[in-house]
Structure 1
Amino acid sequence: MIYTVTFNPSLDYIVRLDSFTAGEINRVNYEQVLGGGKGINVSIVLGNLGHESTALGFTAGFTGEEIKRQLDGFGVKHDFVHLPEGFTRINVKVKAEKETEINGQGPDISEAKREELFAKLDKLTEGDTLVLAGSIPKTLPDDIYEKIMARLEGRGIRIIVDAEKKLLLNVLKYHPFLIKPNNHELGDMFGVKLTTDEEIITYAKKLQEKGAQNVLISMAGDGAILLTADGQHYKSPAPKGKLINSVGAGDSMVAGFITGYTESQGDFKTAFHMGVATGSASAFSENLATRPEVEALLKTII
């Protein structure tokens, strides 16, 4: 079974404008409200690709109920911890000449509610896949990723981590199955600017030396690179297409990788190509990738 964890999910209010002027009334010409958060995006795309998962995390208030309603509509299972006070955060994403985001802070999460999530994770068994993705709200400890991985260590659970610099570096000692930084994040981890594939591979290997098994580096329009635990590496250009919405593209790559790995019974090259195609399919669409969109792009890169 596949599980995803989103510690700080959101209801994303997405608007498009011809132009945006601060301090003035601005009128939108497109708007949409979507449940968001990296783990939730992974679960939705997995469902679109034909694979069942269970979305875990915390929800609260009317916004939390809307996220669950939307997941029900997608046919995605969920088992969130309900918070009795506050509401799941609202993120505003403004797309005009430039993209501007205003992210909410999220509700308070007590230690008792944190233990409820741990209890759900304790039910995972050998062969399960767990995706830990996204930011940590201020009311959770900074080492929550580490606590979870330490708790599940040695149980044969494949753990995938897609998180920012410090969170990612701190979990490497627990040997995550897959991590997915982008090329800029990878450089930032080591205080360098990476400009060539060779440099990216060199520093990705350093993450393996620190404990990561497989490292998937997304490079936006330049494609992606995968380094595997057995010493192989693969490079793929990005499929051709018009960028419409970059939100969720990285999460879609993770979902595509899991799908390809599962369907090929562990072939990394297949998983890699499926990940690249799925990430691009989301980037070229108003919504998250669907199976037909992914398969069409897959034919152009293999």
Structure 2
Amino acid sequence: MIYTITFNPSLDYIMQVPDFKEGETNRSVKEDMYPGGKGFNVSTILQRLGYQNTALGFIAGFTGQQIKKELAQRGFICDLCELEEGMTRINIKMKGDKETEINGNGPFISQKKLDELISKIDTLKKGDTLILAGSIPSSLPDDIYEKIMDRLKDKEIRILVDATKQLLLNALPYKPFLIKPNLRELEEIFQTEINNQKELISYAKKLQEQGAMNVLVSLGKDGALLIA
């Protein structure tokens, strides 16, 4: 079974505002709302490709219930921890001549609820795949990825990591099966500017030397490059 974790999901509220004016009343011409979070996105794509999977994570309040409802329609299994207080954050994205985002902070996650998630992770068995993707809320320890990988290190579980700089680097000693930085993140990790494919491959291989088995660098409109 493939499992994904979304630690800090959101309900994304998209507003089309063609001529946004700061400090004035603006009216949108179109609105959309959908669940946000890298883990949920991965689960959605896997399901569309025919791969059954289970989405883990945290939800809270009426926004969390809306996310749960919409995810259920996508066909994959949702085994989410429901928080007793607060609400899943709302991210507002205004699209016009420029795109402006206001991202919420997210609810507090207690140790009790974190333990509930860990108990679900403990049921993973040999041959399963776990995808750790996206940011973590401020109420969780910043080494949560490492703690999960350390907990699973002897169970022969394939782990994939899609995270920003420090979360990604801290995961490398646990030899993840695949990591997925984008070009900008790769430049940030090595504090350099990458100008061509040769340099790109060189820096991706440095991440392999630090522990990653495979490195997939996403390149936006130019696709992606896999170093295996």
TM-score under structure 1 length normalisation: 0.74
Distance in 2 between residues matched to 1:101 and 1:45, nearest whole Å:
24
Partner in structure 2 of residue 134 of structure 1: 134
1:31 positional shift? 0.9
**One-letter amino acid of the structure 1 residue matched with residue 177 of structure 2:** F
Deviation at 1:18, TM superposition (A): 1.3
2:189 equivalent to 1:192: no
1:57 aligns with 2:32: no
Counterpart position of 2:102: 102
Question: Do residues 211 (structure 1) and 206 (structure 2) align?
Answer: no
Deviation at 1:154, TM superposition (A): 2.1
- Structure 1 vs Structure 2: percent identity of aligned residues? 59
Amino acid at match of 1:200: L
The higher relative CO (CA closer than 8 Å, separation ≥ 6) is in 2
1:163 equivalent to 2:163? Answer: yes
Alignment of structure 1 residues 68-147 onto 2, 5 Å: 68-147=68-147
Moved more, 204-213 or 12-21: 12-21
User: SS of the counterpart of 1:80?
Assistant: strand
Which structure dedicates a bigger proportion of its chain to helix?
1
Q: Which residue of 1 aligns with 2:225?
A: 225
- Cα deviation, residue 223, structure 1: 2.2
Distance 1:42 1:51 in 2: 11
> What amino acid is aligned across from residue 16 of structure 1 in structure 2?
Q
Q: CA deviation at 1:210?
A: 0.4
Count of residues in correspondence between the two structures? 228
TM-score of the pair, normalised by structure 2: 0.98
Task: Look up the SS of the partner of 1:79 in the other structure.
Answer: strand
Q: Residue 30 of structure 1: CA displacement?
A: 1.6
Aligned equivalents of 2:52, 2:222: Cα separation in 1: 30
| d(CA) in 1 for partners of 2:168, 2:227 | 16
Could you say what secondary structure the match of 2:14 adopts?
Answer: strand
Letter paired with 2:135: S
Q: Residue 17 of structure 1: CA displacement? A: 1.8
Counterpart of 1:236 in structure 2 is none
Is 1:149–2:138 an aligned residue pair?
A: no
Structure 2 gap segments, 5+ residues each? none
Q: Which has the higher strand share?
A: 2
The whole-number CA distance in structure 2 between the counterparts of 1:51 and 1:67 is 21
Task: Kindly state the Cα deviation for residue 56 of structure 1 after the two structures are TM-superposed.
Answer: 0.3
1:21 to partner: Cα distance: 1.2
State the alpha-carbon separation in 2 of the partners of residues 56 and 147 from structure 1. Answer: 16
1:20-50 CA-to-partner distances (Å, cap 9, x unmatched) read 1111111111211101100011111111222
Matched residue type, 1:116: E
| Deviation sequence 1:149-182 (CA, Å, 0-9, x none) | 0000021111110000010001100000100001
SS at the partner of 1:5? strand
Shift of 1:222: 2.2
Which residue of 2 is the match for residue 44 of structure 1? 44
Misfit runs of 4+, over 4 Å: none
Task: Give the deviation of 1:126 after TM superposition.
Answer: 0.9
